[in-house]
Structure 1
Amino acid sequence: MIITRLKDGRFVIPDFQRDFEWRPWDILELMRSIFLDYYIGSLLLWKGKRENFDALSCEPIYGHDNTNGNREYIVLDGQQRLTALYYVFMAPDVPLPNRTNRYFYFIRVNKFMTGEHDDAFEYRWLKGWRTKFLENQNEQYKAHIFPLSVIGEGGFQLANWAQNYEKYWRDEATALVENDDREKFEAATQHADDAKEFGEYLNDIIHQYQISYIELDQDLTIDKVCDIFTQVNSRGIQLDVFDLVNAMLKPKDLQLKLMWRTAAPRLEFVDTKKMNVYVL
Structure 2
Amino acid sequence: MISAPQPFVVHLFTIFRQIAAGELRIPAFQRDFIWRERQVIELLASVREHYPVGSILLWHVEQKMLEIASSQVSAFPLVTESYPTSYILDGMQRLSTLYGTFHFKLGDDEVFNVLYDLRRQNFYHAADLTPQQAEAAIPLAALISPRRMLEHQARLAELPDGDKLLEELLATQGAFQDYMIPVVRIAGHDIDRIVGIFERINSTGTRLDTVDFMRAITWNQAFDLNRALDTAQEALGEDGLEVSDETIIKCVGLMLGVQPSREELLTLRARTPGELSQAFAQFPQRLEEVAAFLRERLRIESSAYVPYEGQLLVLFKAVGMAEASGPELDLLERWFWAAGFNESLRGKPDHYVVRAVEGWRALIAGQIRGLEPRLRLSVADFFERRLIKGKALSGAFGAMFAVREGRSLLTGEVVPASLYMSVADLDSFQTIFSAEALRASGIDLGPSSRIFPNIILTNVLEREVPGPSDWQEHILRLAQAGKGEVLASQLIDDLAVAHLRAGEVQAFLRRRAELMREQALALVGS
Shorter-chain TM band: 0.5 to 0.7
Which deviates more, 22-31 or 198-207? 198-207
Contact 1:15/1:57 (CA < 8 Å) preserved in 2?
yes
Q: 1:66 aligns with which of 58, 72, 78?
A: 78
Q: Does 1:204 find its partner at 2:167? A: no
Q: Does 1:81 find its partner at 2:63? A: no
Contact 1:9/1:64 (CA < 8 Å) preserved in 2?
no
Counterparts of 1:5 and 1:225 in 2: how far apart (Å)? 22
What's 2:137 paired with?
Answer: 145
C-alpha distance 223-275 of structure 1, shift in aligned 2 (>3 A) = closer
What's 1:26 paired with?
Answer: 39
Q: 2:154 aligns with which of 137, 157, 164?
A: 164
Q: Give 1:50 shift.
A: 3.0
Q: Give 1:149 shift.
A: 1.7
What's 1:90 paired with?
Answer: 103
What's 2:419 paired with?
Answer: none
Q: Does 1:214 find its partner at 2:179? A: no
How big is each residue's C-alpha offset from its partner over 1:63-109, in whole Å with a ceiling of 9 and x where there is no partner?
3342344663210111110011121111155564xxxx565101111
Contact 1:162/1:196 (CA < 8 Å) preserved in 2?
no
Structure 2 residue ranges without an equivalent (≥5): 1-13, 250-526
Counterparts of 2:156 and 2:204 in 1: how far apart (Å)? 47
C-alpha distance 122-148 of structure 1, shift in aligned 2 (>3 A) = same
* Structure 1 residue identity aligned to 2:67: S
Q: Give 1:17 shift.
A: 3.4
C-alpha distance 200-67 of structure 1, shift in aligned 2 (>3 A) = same
Contact 1:230/1:244 (CA < 8 Å) preserved in 2?
yes
Contact 1:45/1:74 (CA < 8 Å) preserved in 2?
yes
Q: Give 1:197 shift.
A: 1.1
What's 2:391 paired with?
Answer: none
C-alpha distance 84-236 of structure 1, shift in aligned 2 (>3 A) = closer
What's 2:114 paired with?
Answer: 105
What's 2:258 paired with?
Answer: none
Counterparts of 2:17 and 2:132 in 1: how far apart (Å)? 25
C-alpha distance 236-73 of structure 1, shift in aligned 2 (>3 A) = closer
Q: 1:237 aligns with which of 190, 197, 205?
A: 205
* Structure 1 residue identity aligned to 2:115: F
Counterparts of 1:141 and 1:74 in 2: how far apart (Å)? 39
Counterparts of 2:120 and 2:155 in 1: how far apart (Å)? 15
Figure out how many residues of one structure are paired with residues of the other and give that number. 226
Q: 1:259 aligns with which of 209, 225, 234?
A: 225
Contact 2:58/2:90 (CA < 8 Å) preserved in 1?
yes
What's 1:124 paired with?
Answer: 126
Q: Give 1:27 shift.
A: 0.8
Counterparts of 2:47 and 2:68 in 1: how far apart (Å)? 27
How big is each residue's C-alpha offset from its partner over 1:182-208, in whole Å with a ceiling of 9 and x where there is no partner?
xxxxxx1xx211133123212321321
Determine which structure has more spread, i.e. the larger CA radius of gyration. Answer: 2
Counterparts of 1:207 and 1:121 in 2: how far apart (Å)? 17
Q: Give 1:168 shift.
A: 1.9
What's 1:181 paired with?
Answer: none
Q: Give 1:7 shift.
A: 3.1
How big is each residue's C-alpha offset from its partner over 1:125-179, in whole Å with a ceiling of 9 and x where there is no partner?
48xx8xxx9xxxxx89971111112134x34433x1452134322xxxxxxxxxx
Contact 1:45/1:216 (CA < 8 Å) preserved in 2?
yes
Counterparts of 1:207 and 1:11 in 2: how far apart (Å)? 19
Counterparts of 1:16 and 1:254 in 2: how far apart (Å)? 10
Counterparts of 2:166 and 2:172 in 1: how far apart (Å)? 10
Q: Give 1:250 shift.
A: 7.2
Structure 1 residue ranges without an equivalent (≥5): 113-119, 134-138, 170-187
TM-score (norm 2): 0.38
Contact 1:107/1:145 (CA < 8 Å) preserved in 2?
yes
The CA RMSD over aligned residues, in Å, is 3.6
* Structure 1 residue identity aligned to 2:211: N
C-alpha distance 49-150 of structure 1, shift in aligned 2 (>3 A) = same
Q: Give 1:121 shift.
A: 1.2
Counterparts of 2:95 and 2:86 in 1: how far apart (Å)? 12
C-alpha distance 231-250 of structure 1, shift in aligned 2 (>3 A) = farther
Contact 1:103/1:124 (CA < 8 Å) preserved in 2?
no
C-alpha distance 10-94 of structure 1, shift in aligned 2 (>3 A) = farther
Counterparts of 1:163 and 1:95 in 2: how far apart (Å)? 25
Counterparts of 1:27 and 1:205 in 2: how far apart (Å)? 17
Counterparts of 2:134 and 2:37 in 1: how far apart (Å)? 25
Counterparts of 1:260 and 1:266 in 2: how far apart (Å)? 10
* Structure 1 residue identity aligned to 2:158: Y
TM-score (norm 1): 0.66
Counterparts of 1:204 and 1:265 in 2: how far apart (Å)? 49
Counterparts of 2:243 and 2:40 in 1: how far apart (Å)? 23
Q: Give 1:39 shift.
A: 0.8
Contact 2:211/2:246 (CA < 8 Å) preserved in 1?
no
Contact 2:67/2:218 (CA < 8 Å) preserved in 1?
no
Counterparts of 2:176 and 2:213 in 1: how far apart (Å)? 38
